[in-house]
Amino acid sequence: MNSLNPNSRSDREPYVVSGKGYTAVAINAAAKAGEWIKSRQGMVKELGTKNSAQDLVTEVDKGVEQMIKRLVLTHYPDHTFLGEESVEAGASAAAAALKEARESEYMWIVDPVDGTTNFVHGFPFYCVSIALVIRGEISVGVIYDPVRDEMFVAEKGKGAYMHGVPTSVTGEKNLSDSLIAMGFPPDREFAQPVNMAGLQSLLPQIRGIRAGGSAALHLAYVAAGRVDGYWEVGLSPWDCAAGVLLVQESGGKVSDTLGRPYDIGTRHIVASNGHIHEGIISSLAGAEATGYKL
């Protein structure tokens, strides 16, 4: 990146999470889940599909979700748990499950393996994503990349960290000098054509595009200053809840593709360092690539 926030790196004291509390439970669950996921790389025995032939699920996804659920509910048995693998495929099912879960004061939102297709193919870009929503606000966000052993942690109002070192978005102000991440969801009917339209519009205006295949890790990379922005149409709450808090607590901005404030139910998102946000929004709008019918 051309310009990084000078207050974001090792000149600040590492942050240490205490051994008790919501964040510690989330970190412990993510670490144990990630360790098990990594040990199963290349050993997938059952490969299934959900919404389409491109929307993969494995016994690892299901097993990891149950592991995280047990670890969380052991400490907080009265909390609500919303995991990707416990919800039927499709946007309407996700919306219905979220609506029911919102009634709880404490809601854990979990994607056990964000980047399942990568995991199946041995492409080392996948992670565990865990968020805790308290009274409607994302209060804890943890994303763990077991391949690189990188633990991204955010607590509302307390900043975001990677292995205790504060993370910060970039200071890049020019869209033309920006590196942007995007995604291609398995939905070939709606989301993919819209994201392709956005790609065609943005690509000539920026330095480069990266599409790693994990929404959660892309958001963590925005927070860590590895990319300047990210957008994707067609996401679910478990794809982005933890990553949204990471970006916000790292000084960045997250909205829907129309520029409206992010909500847990937002499916079409833009995340950035803030400076280039309006440029991305404008480009998507001009290409009719927001995912919304206006």
Q: Which amino acid is at 68?
A: I
Q: Strand, helix or coil at 199?
A: helix
Q: Which domains does the chain have, with CATH numbers?
A: 22-166 (3.30.540.10), 175-286 (3.40.190.80)
Compute the distance between CA of residue 231 and CA of residue 281 in angstroms, rounded to an integer: 9
Task: Find the distance separating the first CA and the last CA of the chain, reported in whole Å.
Answer: 35
Q: Which two tokens stand for residue 167?
A: 């993370």
The tens digit of pLDDT for each residue in 213-262 reads 999 999 999 999 999 999 999 999 999 999 999 999 999 999 999 999 99
User: DSSP code of 121?
Assistant: H
Which of the four pLDDT bands, split at 50, 70 and 90, describes residue 60?
A: confident
* Segment 61-70 mean pLDDT: 90
Where would I find the beta strands (DSSP E) of the chain? 47-49, 56-58, 80-83, 106-114, 127-134, 137-145, 150-155, 159-162, 165-166, 179-182, 208-210, 229-233, 253-256, 268-272
Is residue 230 within 8 Å of residue 180, measured between CB atoms?
yes
- What pLDDT sits at residue 46? 56
The whole-model pTM stands at 0.88
The fraction of the chain above a pLDDT of 90, given in percent, is 69
Compute the distance between CA of residue 107 and CA of residue 81 in angstroms, rounded to an integer: 6
Q: Mean pLDDT for the chain?
A: 88
Q: Which helix (H) or strand (E) holds 245?
A: helix 237-249
The fraction of the chain above a pLDDT of 70, given in percent, is 86
Of 29, 48, 229, give the one whose Cα is nearest residue 128. Answer: 29
User: DSSP code of 204?
Assistant: G
The tens digit of pLDDT for each residue in 153-196 reads 999 999 999 998 999 999 999 999 999 999 987 777 898 999 99
